[in-house]
Amino acid sequence: MSGVGIIGWIVIGILAGWVAEKVMKRNHGLLTNLAVGVVGALLGGFVAGLLGISFGGWIGSFVIATLGAIILLFLLGLLKRR
């Protein structure tokens, strides 16, 4: 999420975590949504980089962060079942 800034990371992280929470039918609090969104953004950015997908700006960062957060919640759900 280059060029977004720390406030942008926080806003995008909260929104991405919230959207991922709704998609995965989970119920977390604001801080958990932030953590899931920011870690999801890192995960999504890593996966997008491996696939050669480039993104930019708020919308691209939000989409990648949300997809990463969904992947993160999915993986955590798999670990939780074991």
Tens digit of each residue's pLDDT (9 = 90 or more) over 16-60: 999 999 999 888 888 888 889 889 888 888 888 898 888 777 888
> What's the pLDDT at 19?
94
3-state secondary structure of 28: coil
> What's the pLDDT at 37?
86
pTM score of the predicted model: 0.83
Distance CA 6, CA 34 (A): 12
> What's the pLDDT at 2?
56
Instruction: List Cα–Cα distances, 37 to 15, 76, 82, in angstroms.
Output: 7, 14, 24
H helix runs in the chain, sequence order: 5-23, 30-51, 57-81
Q: What count of other Cβ atoms lies within 10 Å of the Cβ of residue 59?
A: 10
